[in-house]
């Protein structure tokens, strides 16, 4: 590396991450391919901050230092040569609080190694292992390792091969965290049985604000379990159930929870084909709800009849501020009437007419 290029590299790194402390060691490490990751391992082991605010993203780290190498090869090379040393360093590291291992071609063997480190490391507040190929056994190992971590606030397991058994393990892992501020995104529960396991935690949780279960095949039985838990939950403010295969039966279960909720402010139900039958049930619940402010009903097979039902219910609802109805077959007359009524009488912003 020329001095000019090296200087420019330092400058770019400093602009992005506010520090160049690791870069000098890295440049020297490039000379030996077998040893090129050792500066990273040393930094982690010695608790030297790598990125700002305790955040470490393995994929971005490798992209920055080796921009001309194909990422799949690079990540596999990293795991092959440094899986053991990386996880051993992670065991004793207290400076990384946000660990992002998403899109890192992780399989069960990598998950087992990370789990071993997490059993000793109690400083992780956010863990992202999404978009990998981790199976049920690997996910269970990580979830069990996190059971004694009382700092965990955010966990992303999405786009892995998680089954119902891991869903049960997730519920067990969450029990000790009832007093932890789990502020956002617990993803990865697959199927109604996993949702059923999770619902018991949700019912007694007093801190969770934002739950995203979108694009998971919950179905009516899964949504029924979540809805039953919501009837006893008084803190959840945002629930995302887009694309979860809810029919009118699932909407019926959910409507009961919406009717009773005093905390739910945002509900996303788009991309579920419950049609006018589901909207009829939800509309009755909305007429009595006193907390909901944003409602997503895009692409839910609603027709002009469903819109009329919604319009009537929302004349009684005093809280709703935004309504999304894009992607539905609504007649021009109903569009005009709903838009006019919501604007004149309620000030509701209707998106998708």
Averaged pLDDT score across all residues of the chain: 77
Identify the CATH number of the domain in which residue 340 sits: 3.80.10.10
In a domain? residue 106: no
User: Could you list the residue range(s) of the whole structural domain that residue 302 is in?
Assistant: 223-353
In a domain? residue 295: yes
Task: Decide if pLDDT at 236 tops 90.
Answer: no
pLDDT one-digit tens code per residue, 264-303: 999 999 999 999 999 999 999 999 999 999 999 999 999 9
Average pLDDT over residues 306-330: 88
Reported confidence tier of residue 50, pLDDT bands at 50, 70, 90: low
In a domain? residue 322: yes
Q: Other CB atoms closer than 10 Å to residue 258's CB: what's the count?
A: 25
Residue 98 bridge partners (DSSP): 55, 126
Q: Other CB atoms closer than 10 Å to residue 12's CB: what's the count?
A: 13
Reported confidence tier of residue 258, pLDDT bands at 50, 70, 90: very high
Average pLDDT over residues 86-90: 94
Q: What is the pLDDT of residue 195?
A: 47
In a domain? residue 230: yes
In a domain? residue 255: yes
Orientation angle between helical segments 191-204 and 164-174, nearest 10 degrees: 10
Reported confidence tier of residue 179, pLDDT bands at 50, 70, 90: very low
In a domain? residue 331: yes
In a domain? residue 103: no
Give the residue, 100 or 16, on which the prediction is more confident: 100
Average pLDDT over residues 24-50: 65
The pTM of the full predicted model, rounded to 2 decimals, is: 0.60
- Domain count within the chain: 1
pLDDT one-digit tens code per residue, 323-347: 999 999 888 877 777 777 776 656 7
**Least confident stretch, 40-44, 118-122, 170-174, 278-282:** 170-174
Task: Decide if pLDDT at 164 tops 90.
Answer: no
Helical H segments across the chain, by residue range: 3-17, 23-29, 38-45, 58-65, 71-92, 108-118, 136-145, 164-174, 191-204, 219-230, 248-260, 275-286, 304-314, 332-341
Task: Decide if pLDDT at 91 tops 90.
Answer: yes
Q: What is the pLDDT of residue 279?
A: 94
In a domain? residue 313: yes
């Amino acid at each position: 590396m020329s001095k000019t290029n090296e200087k420019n590299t330092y400058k770019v790194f400093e602009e992005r991450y506010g520090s160049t402390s690791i870069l000098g060691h890295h440049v020297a490490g490039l000379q030996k391919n077998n040893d090129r990751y050792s500066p990273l391992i040393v930094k982690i082991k010695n608790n030297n901050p790598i990125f700002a605010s305790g955040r470490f993203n393995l994929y971005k780290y490798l992209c920055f230092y080796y921009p001309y190498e194909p990422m799949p090869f690079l990540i596999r090379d990293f795991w092959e040569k440094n899986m053991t040393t990386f996880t051993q360093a992670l065991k004793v590291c207290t400076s990384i609080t946000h660990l992002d291992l998403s899109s890192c071609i992780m399989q069960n063997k990598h998950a087992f190694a990370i789990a071993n480190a997490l059993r000793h490391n109690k400083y992780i507040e956010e863990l992202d292992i999404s978009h990998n190929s981790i199976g049920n056994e690997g996910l269970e190992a990580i979830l069990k390792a996190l059971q004694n971590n009382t700092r965990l606030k955010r966990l992303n397991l999405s786009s892995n091969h998680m089954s119902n058994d891991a869903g049960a393990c997730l519920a067990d892992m969450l029990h000790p965290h009832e007093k932890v501020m789990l502020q956002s995104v617990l993803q990865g529960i697959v199927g109604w049985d996993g949702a059923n396991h999770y619902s018991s935690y949700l019912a007694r949780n007093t801190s969770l604000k934002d739950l995203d279960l979108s694009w998971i095949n919950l179905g009516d039985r899964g949504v029924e379990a979540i809805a039953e838990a919501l009837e006893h939950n008084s803190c959840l403010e945002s629930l995302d159930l887009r694309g979860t295969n809810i029919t009118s039966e699932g909407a019926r279960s959910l409507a009961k929870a919406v009717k009773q909720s005093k905390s739910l402010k945002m509900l996303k139900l788009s991309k579920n084909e419950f049609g006018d039958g589901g909207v009829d049930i939800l509309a009755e619940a909305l007429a009595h709800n006193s907390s909901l402010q944003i409602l997503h009903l895009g692409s839910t097979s609603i027709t002009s009849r469903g819109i009329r039902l919604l319009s009537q219910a929302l004349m009684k609802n005093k809280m709703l501020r935004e309504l999304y109805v894009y992607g539905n077959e609504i007649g021009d007359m109903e569009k005009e009437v709903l838009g006019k009524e919501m604007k004149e009488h309620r000030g509701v912003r209707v998106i998708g007419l």
